[in-house]
Chain A
Amino acid sequence: MTALIFTLATELRQRVDLSPLTPDSLAGKSIEEIGATLLQTGNRQRRADEIFVIEGNDTSHIKVQNSTAKLDYIGKGMTHGDLYVAGDAGSYAGMSMKGGNLRILGDVGAYAACEMKNGQIHVQGDAGDFLGAALPGNKKGMQGGIVIVKGNAADRVGDRMRRGAILIEGDAGCYLGARMTAGTVAVLGSVGEHIGYAMQRGTLLLLQAPSSIPVTFNDCGTHTLGFLPLLLRGFQEFETRFGALAGSIKRVQRYAGDMANLGKGEMLIAV
């Protein structure tokens, strides 16, 4: 068994919906059947083998090579297996994912990990807006699993997030954790304005203090919290720098908010 490899063979003029190419939907199919899989692109459908050169046969280990930001919905709803993306990914990568590993070597577009329920997403580059968020109009964003971004993340990370962890090793944009109802978002770098806007519950763990604390977050003092080493040690099984912080973050400044909303969220800033 060798990994099933999709190598992008044409220059895309339209965006392509790659959601049919997951370990779940390809399981048990021959390479001919896989090649005949119809992919939505623009206002029409094209066979997968018109867009990709397809090799290999292990549908639980899939690689997308020469990937570009025009490939949307990569790994949507997958429940198991590994999906490796060599290059960038478009929007909605890992949307509603329920298990398995999605690894993206480049950047991801907007709404990556949106409404994700379980599994692991690893982004080597940067992430677009609404990482781990809810789709517009929906009430629950990410509901489980872990997302690791080695680069930076744009605005609205964890918008309406419900559970799980998002670990950003670079910087994060504005409205980090906005409207969060639970879960953990941690950022090693700097964060933008309006952090925790309308946050109800959940934890924002920051290694660098934001330029300004929102007026609707109240200072609860500096503390040694017993759960933090446990939480950070829990990240040691993943490929992230956060696991190494278990012994180094001793104390945190705790802010509770958003007091204009439920006010049971917290912003923990390492001191």
Chain B
Amino acid sequence: MIINGVQIDNTFAEAFPMRATRVIITAQNIKWAYHAARAMSGFATSVIACGCEASIERELDAKESPDGRPGIAVMIFAMGGKGLAKQLETRAGQCVLTSPTAALFAGMRDGEPIPLGKNLRYFGDGFQISKRINGKRYWRVPVMDGEFLTEETTGMVKAIGGGNFLILAESQPQALAASEAAIEAMHKIPNVIMPFPGGVVRSGSKVGSKYKALSASTNDAFCPTLKGQTRTELSPDIESVMEIVIDGLSEADIRTAMRVGIAAACGRGAENGIRRISAGNYGGKLGPFLFHLQEIMA
């Protein structure tokens, strides 16, 4: 399959089951909502070492947000429910409770409820106040700038992590430009996040390592500097590869995001040095969800 001169490999991305939640952070203005949201989703690129994968899903205007202030939707993914609950609580407590004017609300009602402000309320040292509004329980925790308002729980649902595709280009700037175009398009898709810095990862990994302590190591088959040194997947004209990893609430969400992202990357075309689109195929070692590139782009 060729799109705009870019070859779409006959391969698939391999993804695995996760648990996910969404929260909404509001603040006095969008700047402070972003401060809290960026802090909360920081150091959350990969479950390999961060404990969770998190990112900003989208902005909410004042009409959409629960308290009528500008807001940000943040999604957090983890390998299990307990881990997700722990990450959520830690990040909410250290990044949103602490952030001036921020309030924190549930971003999904589906699935199993997990604590949001349920335990954070104890920061109030007995001065916290509960309010039940339209069947939802909120906590008002006194803090030095006024009150931290938070909902008691948010929903946790089954989700999928590790959807991905690779952009193979003739040069590093061209690979990055195509990746940026893909991410810009994918940010318009709901229910997905791209958790790596700027949505792009340059250090794609393979499962396992020669070192027993490591569960993942560099994807040498796609490292351009190793073309003559390992069993490479790269042709001589490929100088740089970048990966976009997608976590989503469903297979359909990930497929949509991949289609939009690949189309945007291919939009740069062969004339801009984009040669191939491939994917992280780990031969079934990574997970049960397979996203065939050519099917998605058909």
Contacts and interface: CB of A to CB of B under 8 A. Distances in A.
A227 B147 contact: yes
Interface in B95-149: 103, 126-127, 129-134, 138, 140, 146-147, 149
Contact of B131 (A224, A231, A237, A264): A231
Interface residues of B, number: 17
B178 to A, nearest CB: 43
Interface string A219-252: 0000111110111011001000000001000000
Contact of B134 (A203, A226, A237, A246): A237
A226 B131 contact: no
Nearest to A265: B129
A70 interface: no
B147 A264 contact: no
Given A203-B131, A234-B133, A227 B138 contact: yes
A230 B147 CA distance: 14
B129 A226 contact: no
A68 interface: no
Given A225-B140, A225-B146, A225-B147, A230 B129 contact: no
Contacts of A144: 132
Given A233-B68, A264-B127, A226 B149 contact: yes
Nearest to B69: A226
Chain A contact residues, majority secondary structure? mixed
Contact of A201 (B129, B132, B147): B129
Contacts of B133: 227, 230-231, 234
Nearest to B134: A234
A226 B146 contact: yes
B269 interface: no
Contacts of B147: 223, 225-227
B132 A266 contact: no
Contacts of A201: 129
A184 interface: yes
B66 interface: yes
Interface residues of A, number: 21
A225 B142 CA distance: 10
Contacts of B132: 144, 163-164
Nearest to B142: A220
A223 B129 CA distance: 16
B273 to A, nearest CB: 50
A182 interface: yes
A201 B128 CA distance: 10
B67 A229 contact: yes
Interface in A205-227: 223-227
A226 B103 contact: yes
A182 B140 contact: no
Nearest to A225: B147
A182 B149 contact: no
B104 to A, nearest CB: 11
Tell which of B134, B146, B149 has the most Cβ of chain A within 10 Å. B134
A227 B146 contact: no
A233 B138 CA distance: 14
B199 to A, nearest CB: 31
Interface of B: 66-68, 103, 126-127, 129-134, 138, 140, 146-147, 149
Given A203-B131, A230-B133, A264-B129, 13 more contacts: A144-B132, A163-B132, A164-B132, A182-B130, A203-B129, A226-B140, A226-B146, A227-B131, A227-B147, A227-B149, A229-B68, A233-B68, A266-B129
Interface of A: 144, 163-164, 182, 184, 201, 203, 223-227, 229-231, 233-234, 237, 246, 264, 266
9 contacts: A201-B129, A223-B147, A225-B146, A226-B140, A226-B149, A227-B138, A230-B67, A264-B127, A266-B129
List 10 A-B pairs, minimum CB-CB distance, nearest first.
Answer: A234-B133, A226-B149, A234-B134, A230-B67, A227-B149, A227-B140, A226-B103, A231-B133, A229-B68, A227-B131
